[in-house]
Structure 1
Amino acid sequence: MKLQELFRGVAVKSSTAADDLEIREVRYDSRAVQAGDLFVAIRGFATDGHQYIGKALEQGAAAIVCEEAPEGAPAVVVENARQALAEIAANRFGHPADSMVMLGVTGTNGKTTTTYLVKHMLEQAGHKVGLIGTNQNLIGDEVIETERTTPESYELHALFARMRDAGCTHVIMEVSSHSLVLDRVHGIRFAVGAFTNLTQDHLDFHKTMEGYRKAKAILFTISDKGVINLDDDAAQAMLADAKCPCLTFSCEKDAADLTAKNIRLHADGVEFVATTKGDLARVKLPIPGHFSVENALAALGIVLQVGMPLADAAHALATATGVKGRVEVVPTDTDYTVLIDYAHTPDGVENVLRAVRGFAKGRVIALFGCGGDRDRTKRPKMGKIAADLADFCVVTSDNPRTEDPKAIIDDILEGMQGTKTPMQVIVDRPEAIHWALAHAKKDDVIVLMGKGHETYQEVNHVKHHMDEREIVASFFSKKG
């Protein structure tokens, strides 16, 4: 592809590279650069891509895209290299997002389940749907593994191209606050953007809750329509910042455009009546917990905004299935229950434990930890919530990264001081899980929180295989 083709519509400050220069591929990681590639130097968290321009040239880069021009090298200077990368990527793959209906979901909790529910409803209506999210990426039924909620812009457009070429008509994706601030979704126009909720998370990056909220609000400046959870404390601020007409949903407020009435919670799911201005439908969703009602409303709001009839959407929800790592039941063939859930924020821990309390006949046993190199202030909060809502707590490790796992646990225990809830501290997570299983009694519900869909433990930048389903299975194998 010619350089000028890649830069069609991209604002350029200056250039010393020939317009007709043939480019083999676009790279933003200098380690991947090969002869004839275009290297885009972007500024990252811990390092600046401009530091690696020399390395990229040594490896044969044909030209450089940067914010500060290097001496003696063919370079295109731009104001914002991250935005330029997104625009170049769209040109490279033929603007695939423009040929599909783009749907985005942002919020602290509920994004993954909401996206899966939207995908299911649209597929029941006959559409082929691509999904991008925390658990995995999907092109119809084809699974594509992922390492981050929202990929970098170049991978994102490459994925859109695969979806377009596979015949997808819609794309439903989780849109993280990081991706919005770091321009990973720059240039994409969403038909609908949805907001689930805002609770404490990622303050290591955003610093304040208002900064975190403002990041998520960006989605509603690049969407044609919005869907907002009116029950969340941040709802009014999100509506005020939105640049598009928004549909609101609520489990509590009659003023919302979409509401849930006659809510009934069961061990195997939820039931409610979804009402809009002049229409209603009975909804039965086989995923337990009050938060499932909120997720269902968010998903219903999205499909309503793209023209799907409420009755059809409600009918489709009855055949939806749970998401891996979200209140996932682990087969054990015992007289107690083991659940795996991704809850890794104070709000997430509270939601899942309250949901379990709603149907548990025996004790609720909470097994959890906190990730290292992340917001420390949420650790004691999670500890207190678990102690308040569980009958027994097992405090352990969860992705310590470069921190000392024992130090992380000490932060958690600060919030549990003075509690009468019995607890056990076991640093090694597999050992902790085996301990919980060994001490479970009839009708107990053990909730393994934090890992969810993840099948690894990250220690000192290395991901070690660790699948909690396998750990549970190994316990019963040894016991047998």
Structure 2
Amino acid sequence: MRLGELIKENDYVSCFGGKGLNSIVKNISCDSRTAAPGDCFVCIKGFETDGHDYIPQAYKNGSRVFVVEDLSWTSKIATEYPDAAVLLVDDTRSMLSTLSDRFFGSPSKKITVVGVTGTNGKTSVTNYIFNALRKLGLSTGMIGTIEIRMNDEIWPSSRTTPESLELHKIFKTMLDKGIDYVVMEVSSHALTLLRVQDIEFDISVFTNLTQDHLDFHKTMGNYADAKYMLMKKSNKASIVNIDDNYGNEYMNALKKEGKRVLTYGMQNKADIISERNEAHGITTIKSSCGEIEIESSSRFETYNKMAAYAVLKELGFDIDELQSVLWDLKGAKGRFQKVPGSEKLGIEIIVDYAHTPDALSNVIEAINEYKKGRLIAVFGCGGERDPFKRPMMGKIASSGADLVILTDDNPRREDANNIIMQIENGMKKGRHEVIRDRKEAIRKAIILAEAGDVVLIAGKGHEKLQIIGDESFEHDDFQVARSVLEAII
């Protein structure tokens, strides 16, 4: 494919050198280590490295087309690599998305795509929708934090939303394999960094917005604006949790733009509502098309299943189909996941990804609604991430749990003791202890548990690694808890 077939006149500032717009592009790359002959190398300015600095390596590996935004590199390439074509653009991140979309034939436009965003609930909602569509016999893909799915085929996932180049490759593969629906998590980082700029979304879902990622976004306003970018991208419907303050703002803004909005909620007037029958442990979801009953053990589980209901309703499935697939849907790995075998000790062990103040509060509230004994919580906070939430989470844990064991949770290159101290700044005195070794902290919590107690292991959920410094060590909260149980029973 010629470079000139991939770009339009208003896409770039200038193009010169080599064969110019007649240059052949066999593939696209933004990683000099994997660049190969015939690749168009797009120079991305990252947070720690600058892709422009890797032009010599990409050239050595065979790339002869370079997309740059740094004007100073144009003369360097012209002088040192005269056989290479240079495409100067305003924003290489934006151009990476555009080139990837066009190179792979705009695959997202040929598939029904559902995007889910929000601080908490993205993984659960996408899993609910994916599993429901599979139960309906539909060929479905899923892209998210835990894994990438194509029907029964599973790929590992390195981040919530892949880089635009990888994302369009995934969509092309899914299209080639006959996937008709794709449901994906869309992070605020991905929206801000234009990873989904050229993905065409049919339906968008907003779950909630609470404090997180302020190390990146700096303010809640910026964070909210990033999430809204997805909501206004959907071309069929935007589904909004109306009980969330930002959800209400989004609804009003979307309606002003002439967008179709479907709301769900428990507290405010909404298109989709729910009622809880405590006596029978059943929740009823109601809308204009009828009502269904679901199993739900907590408010946040109900919210997530209401979001899934709304998506399926918008996709055109009738009330009987919704009832058949939503009744007993199971959650995602590491989301309020119960560890089997703990019942033999008369206790319950729950592994949950809760790593934000709101998520931790929700899971603690859910447990306190039914626990018979004490709640013992094990958690920490990630290093090199939003430090402002640490004392907030400390306050939530010490207020809601009977005993808290603070431990490490991916301290990365930050001083782990300093992270613990910041958490402690928000805690009530005398209700916690510190065990830095996460495996030992989990073991201690389980040993301390007595009949009727619940042990909550929060923060890592599905994750398989503990990151300390620049090293990654194998660690799985769920498996550690199972190993402790096996040694005790």
- TM class by shorter chain equals over 0.9
- Aligned: 1:26 with 2:28: yes
Partner residue, 1:440:
449
Partner residue, 2:244:
232
Partner residue, 2:291:
281
Partner residue, 1:261:
275
Q: TM-score, normalised by structure 2?
A: 0.93
Q: Residue 334 of structure 1: CA displacement? A: 2.6
Unaligned runs of 5+ in 2: 79-83
Deviations 1:352-388 (A, max 9, x none): 1111112212111110000000111100100100111
Cα distance in 2 between the residues matched to 1:96 and 1:205: 30
Deviations 1:254-290 (A, max 9, x none): x211111235498xxx62222223x3313213x5211
Q: Residue 46 of structure 1: CA displacement? A: 2.2
Partner residue, 2:208:
197
Cα distance in 1 between the residues matched to 2:293 and 2:470: 44
Q: TM-score, normalised by structure 1?
A: 0.94
Deviations 1:427-458 (A, max 9, x none): 11011111111111112110100010001101
Secondary structure of the 2:478 match is: helix
Deviations 1:117-144 (A, max 9, x none): 1112222333111001111111011111
Cα distance in 1 between the residues matched to 2:9 and 2:209: 35
Cα distance in 2 between the residues matched to 1:83 and 1:149: 19
Question: Number of aligned pairs?
Answer: 472
Q: 2:352 aligns with which of 341, 359, 379?
A: 341
Matches within 5 A, 1:234-383: 234-242=246-254, 243=257, 244-253=259-268, 255-264=269-278, 271-277=282-288, 279-285=289-295, 287-332=296-341, 333-383=344-394
CA contact (8 A) 2:28 2:41 kept: yes
Residues 173 and 328 of structure 1, relative CA distance in 2, 3 Å threshold: same
CA contact (8 A) 2:20 2:86 kept: no
CA contact (8 A) 1:284 1:317 kept: yes
Cα distance in 1 between the residues matched to 2:372 and 2:9: 62
AA of the residue aligned to 1:213: A
Partner residue, 2:13:
13
Cα distance in 2 between the residues matched to 1:53 and 1:114: 41
Cα distance in 2 between the residues matched to 1:92 and 1:462: 36
Partner residue, 2:47:
45
Cα distance in 2 between the residues matched to 1:283 and 1:10: 53
AA of the residue aligned to 1:67: E
- Aligned: 1:140 with 2:154: no
CA contact (8 A) 1:15 1:76 kept: yes
Partner residue, 2:106:
95
Cα distance in 2 between the residues matched to 1:433 and 1:129: 37
Q: Residue 11 of structure 1: CA displacement? A: 1.1
Q: Residue 400 of structure 1: CA displacement? A: 0.3
Cα distance in 2 between the residues matched to 1:273 and 1:52: 57
CA contact (8 A) 1:265 1:290 kept: no
CA contact (8 A) 2:15 2:21 kept: no
Deviations 1:404-446 (A, max 9, x none): 111101100110044x5x3221011011111111111112110
Q: Residue 461 of structure 1: CA displacement? A: 2.9
Q: Residue 8 of structure 1: CA displacement? A: 5.8
Partner residue, 2:473:
464
Secondary structure of the 1:30 match is: coil
Secondary structure of the 2:168 match is: helix
Deviations 1:303-335 (A, max 9, x none): 212222233213211131121000101123432
Cα distance in 1 between the residues matched to 2:360 and 2:55: 44
Cα distance in 1 between the residues matched to 2:240 and 2:320: 21
Cα distance in 2 between the residues matched to 1:191 and 1:9: 28
Partner residue, 1:213:
224
Worse overlay, 43-52 or 100-109 = 43-52
TM superposition outliers: structure 1 runs of 4+ over 3 Å: 262-266, 476-480
Cα distance in 2 between the residues matched to 1:349 and 1:124: 31
